[in-house]
Amino acid sequence: MKAKTPEQSKTILTDMVLPGETNPLNNLFGGELLARMDRAASIAARRHSRRIVVTASVNHVAFNRAVPLGSVVTVEAKVSRAFKSSMEVFIDVWIEDRESGEKTKANEAIYTFVAVDETARPVAVPEVLPQTELEKERYDAALRRKQLSLLLAGKIKPEDATELKALFE
């Protein structure tokens, strides 16, 4: 299976914030942003693997900035690392200034997707070849995040989280 760069899975979803999608403070409802991020990340994972993909876990979400009603929001997703059947997808969220067009980073998230066959059994995916410094940083830290996610889900024992343990040694 031929390895792919994160750029090959890049998915950009641009949309406005409409009144039905806001909380009482007139900012984008968190669940709506999670859904947009899930959609973009799912397409990125599909582009990387060319298989059916399912969300296995939402590993990290930071709602650092509120996104006001009427904002133009860009959700950018790229596969940062692939393991056997699972893929870590990094999502950056930007808001675009109406007048200058300048983009400000609002939020980010990390999701894990698994490629499956028609019977929902996990299948192998291509490796990721990071190119930029940021892609390399995200690639390098992905194994730690995978182990943390599996540990929190009760799928591995603390002693098997070797990359995580190495942080404290």
Ligand X SMILES: CC(C)(COP(=O)(O)OP(=O)(O)OC[C@H]1O[C@@H](n2cnc3c(N)ncnc32)[C@H](O)[C@@H]1OP(=O)(O)O)[C@@H](O)C(=O)NCCC(=O)NCCS
Query: Where do contacts with ligand X occur on this chain (CB under 6 A)?
Result: 54-57, 83-86, 112, 114, 116, 120, 122, 146, 149-150, 153, 155
Work out how close the CB of 97 gets to ligand X at its nearest, in angstroms, rounded to a whole number: 34
φ and ψ of 112, to 5 deg: -115, 130
Work out how close the CB of 39 gets to ligand X at its nearest, in angstroms, rounded to a whole number: 12
Which helix (H) or strand (E) element contains residue 115? strand 103-116
CA distance 48 to 70: 32
Which among 61, 103, 59, 99 is positioned nearest to 81, based on CA atoms?
Answer: 59
Which among 119, 53, 117, 118 is positioned nearest to 88, based on CA atoms?
Answer: 53
Convert 66-97 into a string of H (helix), E (strand) and C (coil): CCECCCEEEEEEEEEEECCCEEEEEEEEEEEC
Nearer to ligand X, 120 or 167 (CB): 120
Which single residue brings its beta carbon nearest to ligand X? 83
Work out how close the CB of 76 gets to ligand X at its nearest, in angstroms, rounded to a whole number: 21
Work out how close the CB of 18 gets to ligand X at its nearest, in angstroms, rounded to a whole number: 24
Nearer to ligand X, 94 or 139 (CB): 139
Work out how close the CB of 99 gets to ligand X at its nearest, in angstroms, rounded to a whole number: 39
Nearer to ligand X, 45 or 106 (CB): 45
Q: Are 147 and 163 in contact (CB under 8 A)?
A: yes
Nearer to ligand X, 73 or 125 (CB): 125
Nearer to ligand X, 117 or 137 (CB): 117
